[in-house]
Structure 1
């Protein structure tokens, strides 16, 4: 028994040294699970396709053209997860593996710091056609945690999309192609890490003659978008009747994930000779599917605008990726593509105060109620958000306006039943039936300096 567990201990130690974080990450990311800046959080992403701030870089980079001013934004996001699991007993007739009654799941809070920069590159280029560039980055634990990663089996079950979020990095820009037609593109960057450990160990698990190699490379996925202002297309600067104030946006966001591959090779002199026992681990986390978005915005007046949008999230592609995941391949998880409707509105009370809100509904992409060993939970979600912005036009010292934003989002997880199963010998499946539900509270604030 000791000989067989030594390589696993070595691999576990390597994971710890590589990732330096508990297994609290989830199969999601900040931008798609909650939103990046307060207006995204506070409108349940209902206005994200038509947000003039720097987070447009991720949702609709073509919309960077809507505000010619540069801006620097620093934001904080805090997500509290009150996720509950209630045992319904053992369907096989025995005692449940875990006794619980509405226990709160051990899911870490999301605490992300976001920094974004947007600027006009016209002065750097020949010609006078405006080209806008932006970059946005997010780091967990308010800047203290560069990489959150977790991939594990769970006897008690685990929620699929909540927990620590990995490093977020997106950069790109937008430009107006013709009157009323703007195009944008950006790149979302994630990391793929590879590590090799070669060592000799004694029966106590102490290693010597170690050789450790660690590499990480960026994986780049595209974000492409188009924005159409119909009054400018048909009528230029003249009044355009029903077309006045009508906008349409289309966006594509490529799938992303964080991946880690580990190869551990250990020998035990006199017991396990060269080439030793090899343990191979290749696993993904923080997955976001390909997302196709379309939205319609209408300016009802100079002070009020509202939008309706829909997203198609292609989660079914995750099935094939998990087949090659050495941690989760036995789960045989089945997913479905989902449509996510969103509604958002923004009301400018005066030159200093703005209010916004929104609502969305997301069906769970996880079809399976049994995912052996991994035991994933995921629920349909009703998402509601509200928020406000304070615009200070003449701040002390600064030459340009300053903006303070706050957004709150509430996610209600609809009740759903799952069956816990295992591939371990001697286990009668399912060994426990559970009901899952919960609430998520997200708070977001940001400071934006215009220039």
Structure 2
């Protein structure tokens, strides 16, 4: 046992070093989500609580509804910043062996910070056809552009929040075209990264290594996003005026995706473990996005428009995905599919300023109130958004219109109780502590868009 114990320590050190090289981050937190599904991509998406995102003609449409890229014929170049502050709290309700937490009631407060860049252009001139074709690109990189793959997958005796933390690379490339009068269609490829590493080394019982060999590979994985948008006035009564002129509907499908890391280590101890080496394998996933079907309608009255969106998210698939996760497979986590209602409104105050607001209610997909060793925490949340946009049609110096957006979003996490359990206890089925989780999240984003 002492040999295996010492070797286990050396192997764990090697595994940590390998993981560090893959993640390029010293501090990250568990997170099952992405910037677009948890908050919103651009300020307008935050401001409407994603209720009007299906009808946002900006380049974030590549994620929400690629068909809407065809709604505005102008090209655009967008640069923005996103910042989210979390105060996720945990209150101990007692138990036979409660944990002493260094941070007190605040379990997690690390921010998420994204640099955003997007571009849309008309590719019609590259084809032999007169039908316009639009191409859009949207990217977000954590830590203001310095982290492309940032997450931590771990067990936790303190408890860990399921849905907040650092965000990995956000990358979409999509296109759209008008199919028939008033009907636009679009398709996007969403890119996530799967990283694989193989480590081979010779070691002694003190952890001194030699003859090391490390191979790391990160490959892109593509997932589909598709959307259809209908302007009913153009479709049904194109020749006459009718009440349908101001009604639009949209349907979008987003395929499931995740960020995955796999580490295979083989350690040889001369005289004890042969040249093949003792195999250690870790496979884990993070930033899972379920299949999402979003259906929305938007109606416009003069300078105002009102939108409602319903999202169905298939989180039950995550149960199967976690079967291959060597860190979380023992947790017996259970998830439920959820429906998220969203409502948002936008009012154009004058030729310069537009105000946007939104509201959403998101039920937690985590059905389990205990998860062995992993100890995930998640809450139902109320989401409120508010934003302001200014469009300068003739800005100084520039030859094209300029748009400036700022959006704010607040998440209120409702109280929920969990049991914390550990396989190291004499009876893993008996919780060592009962806790109550809640929290507040503040997110703000700003962007500058050049229309051309």
Q: CA deviation at 1:123?
A: 1.2
Which residue does the alignment assign to 1:432?
Answer: 433
Q: How does 1:112-261 map to 2 (within 5 A)?
A: 112-240=114-242, 242-261=243-262
8 A contact 1:107–1:162 mirrored in 2: no
Where do 5+ consecutive residues of structure 1 fail to align?
A: none
The answer as to 2:69 corresponding to 1:67 is no
Which residue does the alignment assign to 2:316?
Answer: 316
Superposed CA offset, 1:377-406 (max 9, x none): 000010000000011111122111101100
Please give the alpha-carbon distance, in whole angstroms, between the structure 2 residues aligned to 1:106 and 1:205: 33
Please give the alpha-carbon distance, in whole angstroms, between the structure 1 residues aligned to 2:125 and 2:350: 33
Please give the alpha-carbon distance, in whole angstroms, between the structure 1 residues aligned to 2:249 and 2:329: 41
8 A contact 2:101–2:158 mirrored in 1: no
Please give the alpha-carbon distance, in whole angstroms, between the structure 1 residues aligned to 2:323 and 2:201: 29
Please give the alpha-carbon distance, in whole angstroms, between the structure 2 residues aligned to 1:274 and 1:423: 33
The answer as to 2:51 corresponding to 1:49 is no
Q: CA deviation at 1:216?
A: 1.4
Q: How does 1:94-109 map to 2 (within 5 A)?
A: 94-98=96-100, 103-109=105-111
Superposed CA offset, 1:232-265 (max 9, x none): 111115202x212011100000011000111000
Q: Give the secondary-structure state (helix, strand or coil) at the position aligned to 2:156.
A: coil
The answer as to 2:40 corresponding to 1:35 is yes
Please give the alpha-carbon distance, in whole angstroms, between the structure 1 residues aligned to 2:326 and 2:93: 30
Q: 1:232 to 1:82 in 2, by over 3 A?
A: same
Q: Give the secondary-structure state (helix, strand or coil) at the position aligned to 1:399.
A: coil
Which residue does the alignment assign to 2:24?
Answer: 20
8 A contact 2:266–2:278 mirrored in 1: yes
8 A contact 2:89–2:108 mirrored in 1: no
Superposed CA offset, 1:136-155 (max 9, x none): 00000111112112111101
Q: CA deviation at 1:45?
A: 0.4
Superposed CA offset, 1:395-446 (max 9, x none): 1221111011000000000000000001125366200000000000000100
Q: After the TM superposition, which parts of structure 1 deviate over 2 Å for at least 4 consecutive aligned residues?
A: 97-102, 270-276, 425-429
8 A contact 1:49–1:59 mirrored in 2: yes
8 A contact 2:201–2:266 mirrored in 1: yes
Please give the alpha-carbon distance, in whole angstroms, between the structure 2 residues aligned to 1:388 and 1:409: 12
Q: CA deviation at 1:14?
A: 0.8
Q: CA deviation at 1:350?
A: 1.1
Which residue does the alignment assign to 1:4?
Answer: 8
8 A contact 2:117–2:139 mirrored in 1: yes
Q: Give the secondary-structure state (helix, strand or coil) at the position aligned to 2:316.
A: helix
Q: CA deviation at 1:277?
A: 1.4
Q: Which moved more, 1:212-221 or 1:406-415?
A: 212-221
8 A contact 1:230–1:244 mirrored in 2: yes
Superposed CA offset, 1:163-194 (max 9, x none): 10000100011100000111010010001111
Q: Give the secondary-structure state (helix, strand or coil) at the position aligned to 2:280.
A: strand
| RMSD, aligned α-carbons | 1.3
Q: Give the secondary-structure state (helix, strand or coil) at the position aligned to 1:291.
A: strand
Which residue does the alignment assign to 1:291?
Answer: 292
8 A contact 1:8–1:279 mirrored in 2: no
Q: CA deviation at 1:323?
A: 1.0
Which residue does the alignment assign to 1:343?
Answer: 343
Which residue does the alignment assign to 1:400?
Answer: 400
Q: Give the secondary-structure state (helix, strand or coil) at the position aligned to 1:294.
A: strand
Please give the alpha-carbon distance, in whole angstroms, between the structure 1 residues aligned to 2:224 and 2:110: 29
Please give the alpha-carbon distance, in whole angstroms, between the structure 1 residues aligned to 2:400 and 2:101: 59
Q: CA deviation at 1:272?
A: 2.6
8 A contact 2:364–2:381 mirrored in 1: yes
Please give the alpha-carbon distance, in whole angstroms, between the structure 2 residues aligned to 1:294 and 1:283: 32
Superposed CA offset, 1:339-358 (max 9, x none): 00000111111111011010
Which residue does the alignment assign to 1:356?
Answer: 356
Aligned pairs, number: 446
Please give the alpha-carbon distance, in whole angstroms, between the structure 1 residues aligned to 2:195 and 2:101: 38
Please give the alpha-carbon distance, in whole angstroms, between the structure 2 residues aligned to 1:237 and 1:358: 34
1:89 to 91, 94, 97: 94
Q: Give the secondary-structure state (helix, strand or coil) at the position aligned to 1:244.
A: helix
Please give the alpha-carbon distance, in whole angstroms, between the structure 1 residues aligned to 2:346 and 2:241: 23
Where do 5+ consecutive residues of structure 2 fail to align?
A: none
- Structure-1-length-normalised TM-score: 0.97
8 A contact 2:30–2:162 mirrored in 1: no
